[in-house]
Chain A
Amino acid sequence: MNKVMGNKKYIALFVLPAFLIYLCFLLVPIIYNIVISMYSTNLMSPGTFVGFRNYVNLFTQDSTFVQALGNNVLMVIGSLIAHMPLALLFANILFNKIKGGSFFQTVFFLPCVICGVAIGLMWTFMYNSQFGLVNKLLSLIGLGRFSQDWLANPNTAIFAIIVVVMWQYVGYHMIIQLAAMKNIPRSLYEAAAIDGASKWRQFCSITLPLIKNVLRIDAVLIITGSLKYYDLIAVMTGGGPNHATELLSTYMYYQGFRTLKYGYSAAIGMILLILCVLSLVLSNMVFKSEDVQY
């Protein structure tokens, strides 16, 4: 076997199937997407070449696109808040071996093993203005005047959905961060405790620097995940009411499959791709520093 693996030809041969899949289903579509984003086409009749007009129109004439972009930014901010500091807090509590830790670990993780559609439906019921849990709870604690139709009100709908996303994935990121924490040698904490370091001090000086690498990867996951978010929106509001909860991904779908402007929709897809790559570069810059080893 060593002989086989040593031969470059064989390596190429074994890599080929995976590479072909990658080529067919990722690279070629992306390149094709770049091409049709410069056309005005419904994919049925030959399109007309329009250069960068689709991109220009997106930013200058399309208020819905700008709104979708804004919603995406809100989504990223909301996810970062819930999935970085909050998830870290939960992970740290569990890491410090509280009673029933593994129980809470499972409970927090549970929402992200349930499929998105089921979660969407469940929260649609909870937000319902007639029989929803949210309004019931509000009136129970004397805040009944705030009860409303959360998903039908354009001012609250996007926030209502962001809360669900925050809730859904907090356990997922908690697990990732917890796993990283568990890799830190116990002896470091024991030494710190003997030296009289407080829990907070231990967290800042031992835990945080040592899980930085994982946090960097996690940040990329969070940002790209919330940029290309789709399923809950599709289930809960479909982008409505009047585009108030539109994200780039749902708006891309809308322009492509509902209005048959595939070129325009491809341009939105390209913006989404660029944003995802940018976020990758950005989070690498933010977390850039030498690896810490103790």
Chain B
Amino acid sequence: MKRILAMVLSALLLASSLAGCGGASSTSGSGTQASSTPVNLTMMFDATATDPTLSVLNEVVKDFNASNKFNAKLTLQTYENEQYKTKLTTLMASNSVPDIFFTWELDYLKPFVDSGKVYEIGKLLDQDTEWKSSFQSGVFDPVTYNNKIYAVPHAKSICVMFYNKKIFKDNNLTIPTTYTDFLKLCQTLKNKGITPIALAAPDAWVPAQFVQQITDGIGGMKIYNGLLDGTVKWNNSAHIEAGTEVQSMVKKGFFQDGFLGMKSANSTQLFMDGKTAMYFMGCWDIASITDKSLSSIVNNVGAFTVPAKDSKNNNILVGSIDLSLAISANSKNPEAAAAFIKLFGSEKYQEEFLYKTGHLPTTKINIDKSKVSSVTADVLSISEKAEGLTPWLDRAFGAGEGVEFNNKCQAIFGGKDPTEEFNALQKFAETNSSK
């Protein structure tokens, strides 16, 4: 009796210790035919609960779940930015990425594509010419690897300088057209006791995109292209000059007090409360800036480009594509997933993204200028005038040199010597590939 008891007990213990080790539950669905068997899709997206983009996305999901020819139901999971990156890389390594996932372009997606984790959506785009031809030319370039398309971009993002029209008007200021004017403008504001620019340094990419914009103005496209093909070094003169420029702006107090430690959201809030005159950010922030519940300057905001130090580079901006969606290689129903992505990029929702959240479209839709807010109109015209876009370096060079560039720019804002920092970055770049 005791022996049996002991065996049962140990078996129970063993079973309980192994519980929870089971594999992931299998996804149902029998494939591509428009059958009555329900298909379950999951999607992972980078957004916080208050993100206005999410409300449009929820509409798309609702619309898709209401009727689609695959009888598919899509479940949406959202994560905050940093969590999202961790989650996605972990899921990639363990082969359990949801059917559809949000991604950044260029070097962010590349390692996943190289390891065969991403479904080649280009095949489906080629079959559906109507879908493919609805996109503007060139938008697929940053998500094309070996001439194959792996993701569909649904927005264009550019970095602009938002400004508070009321502050400008009250102080008789005009939009600067030259770099000297821009510095003069900042100094005038500073002398009047108004903080010129809101910027949050703790997220290293924020100071970095500002340095990149100044660099674009000094060296133009050839710096970015040279970095890509290896002919320009990270410690090139344009980078160092930009670092020095930025540092002198910091010394003159052009950024708000305590910007080195201020959280991103708080710095944005300063601008939205009308406490700073300008704010440099990607145009995705239009959504918050024009949201009445968050912002008190909804009708008083405009945008311009930071004038280039070398005026021939005046319309070269930091910018790239955005809102890219890709399909996982182990998705059981890539066609159903593609149907969702097609709906996401349909004219109706491209318009909604533009009018409600200020995302610039990647498809060829006719924009009704009367429906967009004045700041979106500004950004649209900036985008039309743009002669070149340099994608964020942490997207173009991924987590190695790209993220280190961000860190070095953060250090420069904090007062470190630009020459030393960029020399260190170049040294890092030379040894990073061997790790």
A26 contacts B by Cβ under 8 Å: no
Flag if B17 contacts A3 (CB, 8 Å): no
B435 contacts A by Cβ under 8 Å: yes
Flag if B6 contacts A4 (CB, 8 Å): yes
A116 contacts B by Cβ under 8 Å: no
Flag if A17 contacts B202 (CB, 8 Å): no
Flag if B85 contacts A258 (CB, 8 Å): yes
Number of interface residues of B (CB under 8 A): 46
Instruction: Report which residue of A42, A63, A151, A259 has the largest number of chain B beta carbons within 10 angstroms of its beta carbon.
Output: A259
Contacts of B131 in A (CB 8 A): none
Flag if A44 contacts B407 (CB, 8 Å): no
Contacts of B180 in A (CB 8 A): none
- Tell whether A44 pairs with B257 under 8 Å between CB atoms, given A13-B10, A20-B14: no
Taken residue by residue from 64 to 108, chain B's Cβ proximity to chain A (1 for < 8 Å, 0 otherwise) reads as 000000000000000000000110011011000000000000000
Contacts of B146 in A (CB 8 A): none
CB distance from A11 to the nearest CB of B (A): 10
A54 to chain B: closest residue by CB: B435
Flag if B260 contacts A153 (CB, 8 Å): yes
CB distance from A274 to the nearest CB of B (A): 19
The stretch of B186-194, B297-305, B346-354, B408-416 in contact with A is: B408-416
CB distance from A183 to the nearest CB of B (A): 35
Taken residue by residue from 282 to 299, chain B's Cβ proximity to chain A (1 for < 8 Å, 0 otherwise) reads as 000000000000000000
A57 contacts B by Cβ under 8 Å: yes
Determine which of A24, A62, A130, A241 lies in contact with B414 in the assembled complex, contact meaning CB atoms within 8 Å: A241
Number of interface residues of A (CB under 8 A): 45
Determine which of B13, B86, B117, B201 lies in contact with A44 in the assembled complex, contact meaning CB atoms within 8 Å: B117
B431 contacts A by Cβ under 8 Å: yes
Flag if A258 contacts B17 (CB, 8 Å): no
Instruction: Report which residue of B13, B261, B410, B431 has the largest number of chain A beta carbons within 10 angstroms of its beta carbon.
Output: B261
Contacts of B403 in A (CB 8 A): 258-259
Interface residues in B1-33 (C-beta closer than 8 Å to A) = 2-3, 6-7, 9-10, 13-14, 16-18, 21
Please report the C-alpha to C-alpha distance between residue A129 and residue B85 in the assembled complex, in whole angstroms. 30
Please report the C-alpha to C-alpha distance between residue A3 and residue B1 in the assembled complex, in whole angstroms. 12
Interface residues in B416-435 (C-beta closer than 8 Å to A) = 416, 424, 431, 434-435
A172 contacts B by Cβ under 8 Å: no
Flag if A151 contacts B435 (CB, 8 Å): no
Contacts of A149 in B (CB 8 A): 258, 260-261
Flag if A17 contacts B10 (CB, 8 Å): yes
Determine which of A53, A241, A260 lies in contact with B411 in the assembled complex, contact meaning CB atoms within 8 Å: A241
Flag if B261 contacts A151 (CB, 8 Å): yes
Flag if A241 contacts B201 (CB, 8 Å): yes
Please report the C-alpha to C-alpha distance between residue A43 and residue B7 in the assembled complex, in whole angstroms. 40
Determine which of A63, A128, A152 lies in contact with B201 in the assembled complex, contact meaning CB atoms within 8 Å: A152
Please report the C-alpha to C-alpha distance between residue A153 and residue B411 in the assembled complex, in whole angstroms. 9
Flag if B260 contacts A17 (CB, 8 Å): no
Please report the C-alpha to C-alpha distance between residue A120 and residue B411 in the assembled complex, in whole angstroms. 23
Determine which of A3, A62, A128 lies in contact with B258 in the assembled complex, contact meaning CB atoms within 8 Å: A128
A242 contacts B by Cβ under 8 Å: yes
Please report the C-alpha to C-alpha distance between residue A10 and residue B398 in the assembled complex, in whole angstroms. 55
B226 contacts A by Cβ under 8 Å: no
B111 contacts A by Cβ under 8 Å: yes
Please report the C-alpha to C-alpha distance between residue A40 and residue B432 in the assembled complex, in whole angstroms. 12
Flag if A16 contacts B10 (CB, 8 Å): yes
Interface residues in A76-117 (C-beta closer than 8 Å to B) = none
CB distance from B408 to the nearest CB of A (A): 7
Flag if B204 contacts A240 (CB, 8 Å): yes
Contacts of B398 in A (CB 8 A): 259
> What are 8 sample pairs from A and B whose C-beta atoms fall under 8 A apart?
A57-B434, A149-B260, A154-B411, A240-B202, A240-B204, A243-B407, A257-B85, A260-B399
Given A20-B14, A44-B115, 10 other A-B contacts at CB below 8 A?
A149-B258, A152-B202, A154-B414, A241-B201, A241-B202, A242-B411, A242-B414, A258-B85, A258-B403, A259-B398
The residues of B with any CB-CB pair to A shorter than 8 Å are 2-3, 6-7, 9-10, 13-14, 16-18, 21, 85-86, 89-90, 92-93, 111-112, 114-117, 201-202, 204, 257-258, 260-262, 398-400, 403, 407-408, 410-411, 414, 416, 424, 431, 434-435
